[in-house]
Amino acid sequence: MSTVPGDDDALRSRPETGELGQVGGGRIEVGCLSAYVVRWWDPRPALPPVRTALLTSNLELLGPIVEATSGVPADAVTNVLPPLTGALRLGDEDAALQAAEGLIGLGPGLTPAGDDLLVGLLSALVCLAPPRFTDLAARVSAAAKGRTTELSLALLRHASLGNCVGAVGVLLRALAGAGDLLTAHRRLLSIGHSSGPALHFGVVLGADIVARPAAGP
């Protein structure tokens, strides 16, 4: 938080206890104190150059992902993820968008598991392989409007820009070779009641698509 330029004296004059104020538009005003809120960190993880061989090796170290623990409904894992990942590997944006729409808003809570998976997936694709997936990520984010919670919508929008949830960025850095992989893996899994596993699932899927862009025989 920062004071309005030229208003340094405001911080030396504390508001009185019980004094009413206003909050809105990125500003806080109480008495003579007028301040605005700014972001003082860059939410885009600083990644080293992505090396496919290292990325593949680190994914193998994590071992198989247990899809049943991600919170994503089993029918979506069976029916939605194969066409989604297949289209992403082939670079078919229209087919990938159509499949991704089947995950939007899927599941209960403030951030449904389907959205959490997409947040992890988009974060990995945009951060590990820019600008290849930037347009698709923006299209997925736009498709979510009116179809999920406001919180999920905001997270999808940030993911499409490469702005990561902290633990997601830590895992992406570790997968790219900057950080302890197992520590980052456990940290992401521990987030929230169910969000961590779904985010983790999405990150690993995205990283695997970047490591293996074309479908195998």
Mean pLDDT of 71-92: 94
Q: How far is CA 176 from the centre of its chain?
A: 17
Higher pLDDT, 215 or 81: 81
| pLDDT score of 2 | 45
Element (H, E) at 27: strand 27-30
- Secondary structure element (H or E) that encloses residue 33, with its range: strand 33-36
Read off the pLDDT band of 16 (50, 70, 90): confident
The pLDDT value given to residue 7:
47
Q: What is the mean pLDDT of residues 49-59?
A: 96
pLDDT (average), residues 113-127 = 97
What is the predicted pLDDT for the residue at 1?
45
Has residue 153 got a pLDDT over 70? yes
pLDDT of residue 162: 96
- Using DSSP's 3-state secondary structure scheme, residue 3 falls into strand
- The percent of residues above 90 in pLDDT, for the chain, comes to 68
Residue with tokens 């206003």: 22
pLDDT value for 41: 67
Type of residue at 61: L
Residue 170 pLDDT class (50, 70, 90 cuts): very high
| pLDDT band, very low/low/confident/very high, at 12 (cuts 50, 70, 90) | low
Q: Is the omega angle on the peptide bond into residue 48 within 30 degrees of 0, that is, cis?
A: no
| Range with top average pLDDT, 29-33, 36-40, 83-87 | 83-87
* Predicted model pTM: 0.81
